[in-house]
Amino acid sequence: MLLPAEAEVARHLRRYRAWERMMLAAPTDRTVRASFEDSGYTLCVLMGKRCAREAADAADRYLRHGPAEFLSEQSGRPYPVRRVRRTPVTTARPTTAGR
């Protein structure tokens, strides 16, 4: 899994928070609302989340604790994530009984 650069995460999180404050100050302004939703969508894509609120929380955790915790959170396993080498599956050949 590719992880976003911390500088990009910080920049998009700041942008999201700024638009969030402006939207709360002027909730009927359609331009502000559209920009807020765009910044939330970008953060969702960047962090791999479905909800802008979850993406902002994940970005906070990512910036606070680094990529190791973010990876373990994504995989659902405790850190460190170990790769298991699997052996190839062999198929049994059909028998030629009766030939």
pLDDT tens-digit series, residues 30-64: 999 999 999 999 999 999 999 999 999 999 999 99
Mean pLDDT of the chain: 81
In percent, how much of the chain has pLDDT > 70?
A: 68
Separation between Cα atoms, residue 90 and residue 92, nearest integer Å: 7
Query: Total structural domains in the chain?
Result: 1
Structural domain includes residue 87: no
Whether 27 shows a pLDDT value over 60: the answer reads yes
Structural domain includes residue 55: yes
Structural domain includes residue 81: no
Whether 81 shows a pLDDT value over 90: the answer reads no
Higher pLDDT, 59 or 74: 59
Which two structure tokens, joined as six digits, stand for 34?
A: 């559209």
Structural domain includes residue 12: yes
Structural domain includes residue 85: no
Residue-range definition of the domain harbouring residue 39: 6-74
Answer whether 0.85 is exceeded by the pTM: no
Q: Which helix (H) or strand (E) holds 57?
A: helix 52-65
Contact 70, 61 (CB under 8 A): yes
